[in-house]
Structure 1
Amino acid sequence: MTKDKNPDRHPSGAPWRNFYGRFKGHTMRDSQQAYIDEDLAKLAPANVTWEENPDRNPIDLDALFGGKEVWLEIGFGGGEHLVHMAARNPQVGIIGCEPYINGVAMLLGKIRQADVSNLSVHPGDARDLFDVLPDASLSKVFLNYPDPWPKKRHHRRRFVTPEHLEPLHRVMKPGAELRVATDIKDYVRQTLEEVPKAGFVWTAEAPDDWRTPWDDWISTRYEQKAIREDRTPHYLTFRRT
């Protein structure tokens, strides 16, 4: 057998990346599977996968959104916040990134109900999207209730690590806004330690700046669960320097 000369890469040429979340959960309802079959291909941005774009050329956001300002939500869960922001801001294009296909199906159903047309859906790892987003292309990014990975040995799996934050910084415009919502105190600690190191400034000037949600915020099912379980939401806002 010939030894792999480049074990850090997948046979497709992609970087070999560990992924620790779930791609699929319980069996989807027939209606949810129909959303996947009928709607996902139309909404997914082209040239993200290695099969489509092995040279990792930047995707054409003007073609995707007609020249609109572009925002990104990383890990949209069931899609409540993403659809809310799209309906509230028709003047922008928003990409939602979520590898959990059951959550993608839930989002697609909400998109049909809300009849919004300024959304694109990447059903995969945010790191693959970062590979093909143009430099300084995003004006606003949302990270709402990310997986907390509560065990100390798993903290390196959290999004707020250099592996994610460095490419995120590259694809955000100078002055662009990064919002992080979490109910996990230690996630707040790690966020406040790591995000500034990656080239962001925390904008808070008083406690209400992180205790009070943003004016356009919609409370998600994850937040409602946190409140029921007596955990305090934190709303952190950063600017890309």
Structure 2
Amino acid sequence: MTDTPKSPFDPNPPRRNFYGRRQGKTLRQSQKGYLSEDLGELRPMGISIEENPERRAIDPAKSFGDDRPLWLEVGFGGGEHMVHMAATYPDIRVIGCEPFINGVAMLLGKIRAADVSNVSVYPGDARDMMDVLPAGSISRAFLMYPDPWPKSRHHRRRFVTPEHLLPLARVMRPGGEFRVATDIPDYVRQTLEEVPAAGFDLVCEGPEAWDDWISTRYEKKALREGRKPHYVTFRRQG
């Protein structure tokens, strides 16, 4: 039996810097229940460094429970968009990565309410997921209202940097779609500069949302505060 090959993005050392919050305000009792009762069934195995210290590539069908096309959402916030995609496209599986445990709890509540079953939830860094996914395994990826890190010295913490985009490009299939939504003009600037350099072609960008879009809590907040949403679509080269 041949050993499963290691991913080319094996982190060294096995611990990496993480910027942002892991937990916010105290969880409600119902949210604690979602985490204790639901997360275990929705969480794929072999993703975290603790579960997979050698960072060997996983078998998606085994880790996610079936062989449907895989979509990836990086930082799903409160989960509105992820659940909407799962309900709209039942023939795919949506994987969500989110280290903020309050967001994970909110998502689990929405999954219960919507009664969708084609979702997987990883309560951690998306880089862990991209370390172990096979090349070309993701058909569509989403980056919806990411942390803007507005200070210039913090721009390297944004997702739209080579540290994140090159692994994303590796795991996306040729022709796969990468969508970005943000209300921060400088984030748009950096996105348009960095994403093509990582192996993506720009398809379209502007103020018009996608036909299957659902407004999220972060977009509604941006609109209330007078910021204009911007939507960008890329396609993986190859």
Q: Same fold (TM over 0.5)?
A: yes
Give the Cα separation in 1 of the matches to 2:199 and 2:65: 27
Secondary structure at the residue paired with 2:38? helix
In structure 1, the partner of 2:7 is: none
Give the Cα separation in 2 of the matches to 1:134 and 1:141: 15
In structure 1, the partner of 2:182 is: 182
Amino acid at match of 1:221: R
1:138-182: per-residue Cα shift (whole Å, max 9, x none)? 000000000000001110000000000000000000010000000
2:233 equivalent among 229, 234, 237:
237
1:114-137: per-residue Cα shift (whole Å, max 9, x none)? 000000000000111111111100
1:50 Cα offset (Å):
2.1
Matches within 5 A, 1:7-46: 9=12, 14=14, 16-46=15-45
8 Å contact 1:76–1:82 — kept in the other structure? yes
Larger Rg: 1
Amino acid at match of 1:121: V
Amino acid at match of 2:215: S
Matches within 5 A, 1:1-241: 9=12, 14=14, 16-63=15-62, 64-204=64-204, 209-241=205-237
Amino acid at match of 1:41: G
Give the Cα separation in 2 of the matches to 1:221 and 1:140: 22
1:9 Cα offset (Å):
4.8
Give the Cα separation in 1 of the matches to 2:66 and 2:74: 22
1:87 Cα offset (Å):
0.4
When normalised by structure 1's length, the TM-score is 0.91
In structure 1, the partner of 2:3 is: none
Secondary structure at the residue paired with 1:58? coil
1:65 Cα offset (Å):
4.0
1:56 Cα offset (Å):
1.4
Secondary structure at the residue paired with 2:120? strand
Give the Cα separation in 2 of the matches to 1:69 and 1:155: 32
RMSD: 1.1
8 Å contact 1:65–1:118 — kept in the other structure? no
Amino acid at match of 2:131: D
Give the Cα separation in 1 of the matches to 2:50 and 2:157: 26
Structure 2 gaps of 5+ residues are: 1-10
Give the Cα separation in 2 of the matches to 1:180 and 1:232: 14
Secondary structure at the residue paired with 2:160? coil
Moved more, 48-57 or 228-237: 48-57
In structure 2, the partner of 1:4 is: none
Secondary structure at the residue paired with 1:175? strand
Moved more, 109-118 or 59-68: 59-68
1:27-63: per-residue Cα shift (whole Å, max 9, x none)? 1011100100011111001001222212212222122
In structure 1, the partner of 2:5 is: none
Give the Cα separation in 2 of the matches to 1:42 and 1:172: 25
Runs (4 or more) in structure 1 with deviation over 6 Å come to none
Structure 1 gaps of 5+ residues are: 1-7
Give the Cα separation in 1 of the matches to 2:214 and 2:96: 16
State how many pairs are aligned: 226
Secondary structure at the residue paired with 1:239? strand
